[in-house]
Copies of this chain bind each other. A is one copy, B any other.
Amino acid sequence: AHADPAETKGGIKIKTDDGRFEATVGGRIQFDYYSFSEDDGALIGSTAFGSGVAANDNRGGAAFRRAYLTLTGKAYGWDYKFENDFAGTPGAGGGTFREMWIGTKVGPGKLMIGQHKGFRGMEELASSNEITLMERPNTTATGIYNGRQFLRGLFYKGNTDSFGYGIHATTLTGEAGDPTEGTSFGARAYWFPMSDDGQTLHLGLAYSTDREDTNSKNAAAVFQYGGRRGISLGLAGAGTANGSTFGTQNTIHGEIAGSLGSFTAQAEYAVASMQDAYAGPSDADVTAYYVQASYFVTGEKKVYKKDRGAFGSPKPINSYGAVELVARYEASENSETTTGAANGCSLTGVAAGSYQTCEGSQITLGANWYVNPNVRFMLNYYLAEADVGAGKDQPEAISMRAQFGF
């Protein structure tokens, strides 16, 4: 009988000898433990806010962060990616999809139809198996592009040996999976004059416009502090997508990163302009940036992925694995909401519309143990601060992750 070569490194890969046909079954398990220390003194006047609000809902314990099943394949010059997060929150229309697309080469690049990440920022586009800290920073869909990591529509990307780009033209499909006329358009370009392991220089620039419509996702920016089970400080919104007023978020985004030997540094800066059509139209300007540095104690060097314009993980040199230390500082600010606007800062314990500017910042320290190419353990410590008017919230948190990618 006819037989194509099969292969396993923990997952499954079948590939014809001529490379024209291929199918893989893979996945990832990420299991986390959280410990959160509230700031008992977080008060605005005499009112508790942020982590200072005594919650009946504790924030510690164990949880699955991700459980992906990932199928990919190639046939007759086309390919697909079928990825579902079984640890996600179920919803109609594919609420737990991650990448879910059909693609082919068109011109110099690749066209993808379906669901993919928008092209905005290098840490946003790094694999969740390879991000250096447990959560992505504030310049991603965890922050300034709040809740809009995966978009549905058309995506085009490509790269040469020193330059790469990505463009998306998509809808802003809402949580319920319903179609919507909300839209997102974005483009990213990056230049990497050096891309060898241990000698990398990367510069990137992205711009996107998210326009809300009925049932679309909201265009809004938040600052998430204290990790995955921490607190979300709403910096500004662009309207109320599920109601009848819609807004627009325009975001410009810069990236710079480099590696030298086992040392890697990376920073991103994004500025979003939010236009809200709500009664007494208001605008808000939000900035978010971070700087991050990491070092492999055991001598490995970060791998630069040209097709993503982002870093990936090296294979451990030693049989006992690789150890990496990392530190990140990030800060977000809504510095200018126009007066008279309902828009502004939102946070548990803060009365709606009371504060039109606010800011948050956080230091995260981490240690990663890459046991082998499939298994990684992570330990993160967070020291965060949110400032709303005269109020200051300063919680701490610790989180751990066990991860198997296959």
Contacts and interface: CB of A to CB of B under 8 A. Distances in A.
B9 A6 contact: no
Interface string A39-63: 0000000000000000011111111
Interface stretch (A95-103, A254-262, A275-283): A95-103
Given A64-B114, A75-B372, 4 more contacts: A1-B5, A31-B102, A63-B93, A80-B406
A7 interface: yes
A157 to B, nearest CB: 17
Interface stretch (A13-21, A136-144, A263-271, A322-330): A13-21
A403 B100 CA distance: 12
* 5 residue pairs, one from A and one from B, having the closest CB atoms: A61-B179, A10-B75, A3-B5, A76-B372, A90-B90
Given A1-B5, A215-B58, A372-B78, A64 B16 contact: no
Contacts of A332: none
Interface stretch (A170-178, A198-206, A300-308): A170-178
B27 A114 contact: no
Chain A interface bracket (under 10, 10 to 19, 20 to 34, 35 or more) = 35 or more
- Integer count of this chain's copies in the complex: 3
A25 B58 contact: no
A91 B92 CA distance: 10
B11 A6 contact: no
Interface of A: 1-12, 14-17, 21-23, 25, 27, 29, 31-34, 56-64, 67, 69, 71, 73-78, 80, 82, 84, 86-97, 100-102, 104, 113-115, 152-153, 170-171, 173, 177-182, 213-215, 229, 244, 371-375, 402-404, 406
Given A10-B21, A31-B113, A61 B3 contact: no
Contacts of A67: 82, 84, 94, 97, 100
15 contacts: A8-B14, A11-B73, A23-B406, A31-B152, A56-B214, A61-B178, A64-B97, A64-B177, A76-B371, A78-B371, A80-B406, A84-B86, A86-B96, A89-B93, A102-B402
A287 to B, nearest CB: 31
A181 B7 CA distance: 42
Contacts of A73: 8, 10-11, 406
Contact of A71 (B25, B56, B94, B115): B25
Contact of A1 (B17, B71, B115, B214): B17
Given A9-B75, A25-B12, A102-B404, A58 B213 contact: yes
A22 B214 CA distance: 48
Nearest to A60: B181
A288 B28 CA distance: 39
Contact of A173 (B6, B63, B82): B63
Given A61-B171, A215-B58, A372-B78, A23 B10 contact: yes
A359 to B, nearest CB: 28
A84 B87 CA distance: 10
A62 B170 contact: yes
A91 B58 CA distance: 19
Contact of A402 (B27, B82, B93, B113): B113
A198 B62 CA distance: 42
Contacts of A170: 62
